[in-house]
Structure 1
């Protein structure tokens, strides 16, 4: 089993396929033809390979919340004590109490994977096991080196809206 599979990633380039493709290319030119996605980790919810840490995600810098002003959906769809990952917006919204919502970038600070889910008071990244506090975004379980950045959401007419 390669390291990509061992990290819990179902799809993506294996070490063997990256080495074989690199051998076919000529040095940096061969690596450029592969694209950075072939070397990255995995992202949750079938979002494809994650970018390298510090790389732009979906045309936005990591931690930026694309779609400001965008309606995410009904506020009541987020379960009390749980949360939801919005893959397209790269945002995770948690709801620790009936009238309290918190939102954070969904891009893990370790390797740039999108977090997978919210459970038992933590936001969880499936790539390498990092978890974050669902109320503060602080690191609960490394290897993530930094907390998730807070993103502002509002409830307007019963809808969650990125501010």
Structure 2
């Protein structure tokens, strides 16, 4: 399956469907004795300069989830006016994709883990580790990987 060179912003409904599939796959992997799926790794595959989002598309106290491929999704948030943060969207609990940002919380609906959009730290839920942060910079009106 081929994926476009540019990311696609995915709706909550689409991500929830993908989350269910990820949970099923993760459960299968864990039952086979492989806990690797539970570990979230930063999106190291994204080279510097990779476009993440337009500043105008990232709401204040909210954010967007950007989908690159089956393994790489990024949450881009604006926790305060003019400040943008980005995190690997893979939940550190069991590897489901976080699918929403609301009131400065990044939400994984699989098991209701919630993370701060300021620093990625776990706020509630079964996840114990923070979301890995992705360094960003502003390039004109774009938010890109630093």
- Aligned partner of residue 47 in structure 1, secondary structure: helix
- TM-score for both structures, normalised by structure 1: 0.64
TM-aligned CA deviation for residue 65 of structure 1: 4.1
Q: Kindly tell me the number of residue pairs found equivalent between the two proteins.
A: 118
User: Could you say which residue in structure 2 is the equivalent of 1:114?
Assistant: 97
- Aligned partner of residue 56 in structure 2, secondary structure: helix
- Give, in whole Å, the separation in 2 of the partners of 1:45 and 1:65: 24
Supply the RMSD in Å over aligned alpha carbons: 2.4
Q: Which moved more, 1:108-117 or 1:72-81?
A: 72-81
* 2:46 paired with 1:67: yes
The question of whether the paired residues in 1 share the 8 Å contact of 2:113 and 2:124 is answered with yes
User: Could you say which residue in structure 2 is the equivalent of 1:138?
Assistant: 121
- Aligned partner of residue 44 in structure 1, secondary structure: helix
Report the CA distance shift for 1:105/1:159 in structure 2 as closer, same or farther (over 3 A). same
The question of whether the paired residues in 2 share the 8 Å contact of 1:65 and 1:105 is answered with no
Report the CA distance shift for 1:122/1:56 in structure 2 as closer, same or farther (over 3 A). closer
The question of whether the paired residues in 2 share the 8 Å contact of 1:124 and 1:132 is answered with yes
User: Could you say which residue in structure 2 is the equivalent of 1:84?
Assistant: 64
- Aligned partner of residue 95 in structure 2, secondary structure: coil
Q: CA deviation digits over 1:112-145, x for unaligned, max 9?
A: 0000100022000010010001111111112001
User: Could you say which residue in structure 1 is the equivalent of 2:31?
Assistant: none
Q: Please state which structure has a larger fraction of its residues in strand.
A: 2
TM-aligned CA deviation for residue 91 of structure 1: 0.9
The list of structure 1 runs, each at least 4 consecutive aligned residues, that deviate by more than 6 angstroms after superposition, is: none
User: 1:47 aligned to 4, 11, 18, which one?
Assistant: 18
- Aligned partner of residue 145 in structure 1, secondary structure: coil
TM-aligned CA deviation for residue 62 of structure 1: 2.9
- Give, in whole Å, the separation in 1 of the partners of 2:55 and 2:62: 12
- TM-score for both structures, normalised by structure 2: 0.71
Please say which structure displays the higher CA radius of gyration. 1
TM-aligned CA deviation for residue 45 of structure 1: 4.9
